Structure 1
């Protein structure tokens, strides 16, 4: 009886309230964007009615429902269920979870397998019934349908903007002021103030023609960026110089390499609109490489000549295959110094004794065998040897060289004239394109169009004839003489930037070959292979066994010459 009485007096332990993570997402689509505050208030009221205990509130502000890989918040919310820190994820609506069919299904399935639940405060569903689960699936499908409809609307808007000669996505471009029509709410008395540093201005009421006009200060910066890149400065060098001068981007922030690449690669400053050939791999947008970019003419005025952008494009594609040290060298000898015994590139090393640098064959570093005496040369000796060679080359001036220089000056004038005419020709082609768009937009009559078009075509034919004559003169342009390059290099040796010095050395020197001396404690032999000597090679057979490998090989810039090689074990 006593035991029965004690059992009857026991009270049931109350069930612990479910732990909840509130997940909020604000859409990037303006018309469908709901404030995070409204979503959170609705979720908190729902949790209070259900008796849930809120352990965390996680938000993804301004992120598309299709961009699953960019939504760190939803990953954290699912992680809380996985780590048993929460039992339920509460949303405002089911569309906040995902707008992609696969992501929506995987998220629900993952949470259910972990023993958790996902609930909606504005669209409550009984998930314990088949009808409730069916309703959840329909809401997920509807969210994906809305996303597809939004995507189609944006696609139509982008195509319309392209037909008008505008970039597909309306935003500010560095080097230009974006003149935007006032929104429709302005007619209802809503005042829209112009941003202080946003890269755009509102047009006067009644002016609805969206356009881009050149910003004089930023335009000079853009032109400088193109010219410096063509001269040999890489994106890191441009970034450092712009930030050193406190020149900011359109958002008033310091420049990054990615930002510089975006400005230069777009070609917008040349009056072009870029097509990056983006594709979607499930959820992620993947852009094609620069080599697959295409451009079309835009309606805005160019900052730079199309020839300058074409030159940039050629150099950009060439640098894609060039090691970074060649583009932004830390010394003028990068990639030029090689071991004559094993033909490996030599590496610049700080001297262990005393100041200065030297060049050491990498073979010892690769093999780690100290018994092999490495090929080594002091950098100051290397520099003096090259300067002496340049001096001898610069003194080789005769009547033929003087005649070549005279012909070069004549051809240079012809090339400048041809470039000017080509720029005028491109300008007329652009005017013809703008003229066609104005006719399509019904901004001019057909008579005005025909008359203006006839005048432009006549001017184009005249310039084309002049250009043909200039091209004939330009065809006689001689190749820059090595003596001229050597003389200029010596005169400006101490003032030239490293990248420019490396570029000029590369036009003269194919390789500086360093061969170890057969005698101990004696300096290595140096030999320069010029770029115009196609069959030049260095026979290192007298020094085999004395240097960094057990056997040497002939180094040559010509693939026709036979090379004797050894592997790491010493076998041929």
Structure 2
């Protein structure tokens, strides 16, 4: 039960008056933070003036926006529907809500239940056509005010993101020391000291967060990273314990890589779903990087690989879990159980076969389907593995064969990446030196000179980051020689490995195991990661959908 201040309790009222609910809302907008005391005084004056009786306690929403109806007002509407009250009274109609759709839907719901909505300061008789017109104008003006303020905030956020290269909202971020735009002046109470807002890497928390990226790339799950953070005593910027979703959201934001995650301005999605829209872009930020561009690229690649992997396949039960595909529909093949008679008794055989999941879910019109024994599929994959391992197992000839050196684009990419990294370090140092010089000698810079120099450096940083991403892709391109020792060692130790260990190794070597239905049965093809993807022209994700 909310312990309300005495000002909200009021004095005894006429018990014979018509029961009404009083609703108070204080907005999140600073411009319209009307005190709850003022609203309550107006409501109680209205009740006394009209002979109504306000039910105690009043319904109060503090620091809540009116642009949606995820508020206590919905409980008030339900109480009117239950016959507990005759209607809802508000200080002004804008307190009920500022969303056009939300106001229309919930006001109709209130009136359909026989209830009314009245304002203590806006005398409107909604029982007449003129009164409903007046109320509609007041609601439309409230929505207009909300739209104007929303546009102003969007302009402010865009200025911070695209001009200052700062997050839309200034607040602490884990791993950084936040220097806000203004600080209280200790010598002049009530006054502030202005400074350049910036984020500087924390000596302890910065490396701690960078280690989480490295651990994830090395294969650690998020729950393990969360456990280590909490065990080591690290807390979120709000002082709470880390959770998987909190850590994932922060690491995916790209902030630790010196980037800002923004919604694509060209996306036409509705505003109410924009917060969960996947159409996002990464733009350069002004904060220091905790991780390199190469490490960020590797993190994104593993995140994407995990998104394409079914949750059950992440902890594989069988050695081909998550790898089996049907050639015709490009869909997944799921392991299926079977029943067999053993010694006169019917027993269940787990994972007896693989069957096309699309055929199972959508029927033969979507896919004719394919079926293969798990034992057969696993045997074919091991034969392929043994064939790949044979050149490495065979003894080398007494006289080594002369080979023409094969050009490795990755070597050139590594040299280019090293050059780009030096350039990135120089640009970062130049930006730091520019900020320091401006702080020490502000009179040396004319109007706009510092901003122009800063923007030139950031433009070069953006071009450098894109170039780093391109060479990182080339450098990460696999060659068969990179996997030869793993292949040979896997074949030699195959019998000692369990299903999960085999699956983890195969996922490093194989894109997929494609099964094709033929007149004679089925054909199994293995697509290794070092060969061009035969399914590349057609998006695998689109085909599976």
TM-score bracket for this pair, using the shorter chain length: 0.5 to 0.7
Shift of 1:241: 5.1
* 1:188-203 mapped onto 2 (5 Å cutoff): 189-190=189-190
Q: Aligned equivalents of 1:169 and 1:256: distance in 2? A: 22
Q: Structure 1, unaligned stretches of length 5 or more?
A: 1-13, 192-204, 368-372, 513-528, 530-535, 542-551, 561-572
Other structure's SS at 2:89 match: strand
Counterpart position of 1:213: 200
Shift of 1:54: 0.8
TM-score of the two chains, using structure 2 as the length reference: 0.66
* 1:263-274 mapped onto 2 (5 Å cutoff): 263-274=250-261
* 1:279-294 mapped onto 2 (5 Å cutoff): 284-287=272-275, 289-290=277-278, 292-294=279-281
Q: Aligned equivalents of 1:119 and 1:250: distance in 2? A: 43
Q: Aligned equivalents of 1:539 and 1:94: distance in 2? A: 71
Counterpart position of 2:24: 24
Residues 1:382 and 1:83: Cα distance change in structure 2 (over 3 Å): farther
Counterpart position of 2:288: 301
Q: Aligned equivalents of 2:493 and 2:209: distance in 1? A: 27
Other structure's SS at 2:204 match: helix
* 1:128-167 mapped onto 2 (5 Å cutoff): 128=127, 132-162=131-161, 163-167=163-167
2:39 matches 1:33: no
The answer to whether the 8 Å contact 2:217/2:299 transfers is yes
Shift of 1:47: 3.5
Shift of 1:210: 1.3
2:420 matches 1:422: yes
Larger radius of gyration: 1
Q: Structure 2, unaligned stretches of length 5 or more?
A: 1-13, 343-348, 362-370, 528-532, 535-545
> In structure 2, which of residues 302, 317, 335 is the aligned counterpart of residue 347 of structure 1?
335
The answer to whether the 8 Å contact 1:87/1:116 transfers is yes
* 1:244-393 mapped onto 2 (5 Å cutoff): 247-277=234-264, 284-287=272-275, 289-290=277-278, 292-327=279-314, 329=316, 333-336=320-323, 345=333, 347=335, 359-361=351-353, 375=373
Counterpart position of 1:398: 396
Q: Aligned equivalents of 1:228 and 1:164: distance in 2? A: 32
Q: Aligned equivalents of 1:476 and 1:383: distance in 2? A: 23
Q: CA RMSD in A?
A: 5.7
* 1:506-545 mapped onto 2 (5 Å cutoff): 506-508=507-509
The answer to whether the 8 Å contact 2:317/2:499 transfers is yes
Shift of 1:61: 3.5
Shift of 1:235: 4.3
Residues 1:488 and 1:223: Cα distance change in structure 2 (over 3 Å): farther
Q: Aligned equivalents of 2:436 and 2:475: distance in 1? A: 37
The answer to whether the 8 Å contact 1:26/1:62 transfers is yes
Shift of 1:212: 0.8
The answer to whether the 8 Å contact 2:337/2:350 transfers is yes
Question: After alignment, is 150-159 or 244-253 more displaced?
Answer: 244-253
The answer to whether the 8 Å contact 2:263/2:280 transfers is yes
The answer to whether the 8 Å contact 1:19/1:55 transfers is no
Shift of 1:307: 2.4
The answer to whether the 8 Å contact 1:358/1:377 transfers is no
Q: How many residues align?
A: 477
Other structure's SS at 1:206 match: strand
